[in-house]
Structure 1
Amino acid sequence: MAPERESGIRERTPAGATAATRHRTPRLDQPRPPRRRILPEWDPDAFGRLSERIARFLGTGRFIVWMTVVIIMWVLWNIVAPVALRFDQYPFIFLTLALSLQASYAAPLILLAQNRQDDRDRVNLEQDRKQNERSIADTEYLTREIAALRTGLGEVATRDWMRSELQDLVKELEERQGRSERVVFPAERAEHPPGRDAEDR
């Protein structure tokens, strides 16, 4: 069995192959070499920022004013200028083509800027939702803590309660002292009658 395996390995491996020239499977512990791309690479984030700038400029009054000025100058030049200097005769096909090209580029740029704004809004909404959840959790925790403190304070002796208890004790002691004086002094008078005191004198 072992000789058959060795012969199969020898058949698959070329006779003059070495360890360097032998075909190996790609290793998983090493990064793959970068592939060559036909199209040029660009940074999507930088392209998105550029599209937002263009879309922001297209939505301003300055762009409308400049575009109106350029169109008026274009039309006046091609009407008033000498025939040899006119580059776009009436019906101004080149102007129509330029405006169509501008519109065909402006629409995707505006959509790309809107998509980026939607992504930002979605992230902001998610962050706001998480912040609201944290605020609600903190509020519930503080509410439970305040309720526990109120419950604990209900069992704690306050200053007014201590004062009322001490006043009750003082009254009770005064009443007991008054009773003891009423009981003790008559007994002492009975033990020592006034006539005996006069005799002692």
Structure 2
Amino acid sequence: PPELVPNCAEGGVLGVLPGIIGSMQANEAIKVLARVGEPLDGKLYLFDAATLLSRTIKIVKHPEVAIGHLIDYDQFCNPAPAKPLPSVTVKELAEWRQRGLPHQLIDVREPYEYEIANLGGRLIPMAELPARSSELSKETPLVLHCRSGQRSARAVRQLQEAGFQDLYNLEGGILAWAEAIDPQMTIY
């Protein structure tokens, strides 16, 4: 589902890669505007930052295919309406904690992330969640969180498929908590 597509912060990107590709794109724009060199028009340039190898593939236009307008990403990737993801805001979670409402707070980040900043929840990294789901109570509400809410959204879906029902994704994750509840918290 579209809400589970990771952004660069969650999925990871080699730090210098946007600069390299951005410089290449600027070079292409200059070639087109100045009418110098051979632009990559009709070609796909593939760059592997891990090996510094690249190649160019010629793209053949199909005359019968015309793009008249942009597609709706949500509809294209998820034609059936997705079941809404149960979630809780950081302010609601802070209120739950203040009122002493029972809940299980599960952090699905990696141990090194937990060391940087945490909400005091139980650490069960995303990769270990399927094997450790038996450690969780199905009778007490579960609030799952990560850095920004992407991984924990996937974790909520995983646990739903495993039969858990009283589940919540912490909207915005620990970043939202640091912004709205605890500005002194270390962010990364």
* TM-score normalised according to structure 1 size: 0.20
Bigger Rg over Cα: 1
Structure with greater proportional helix content: 1
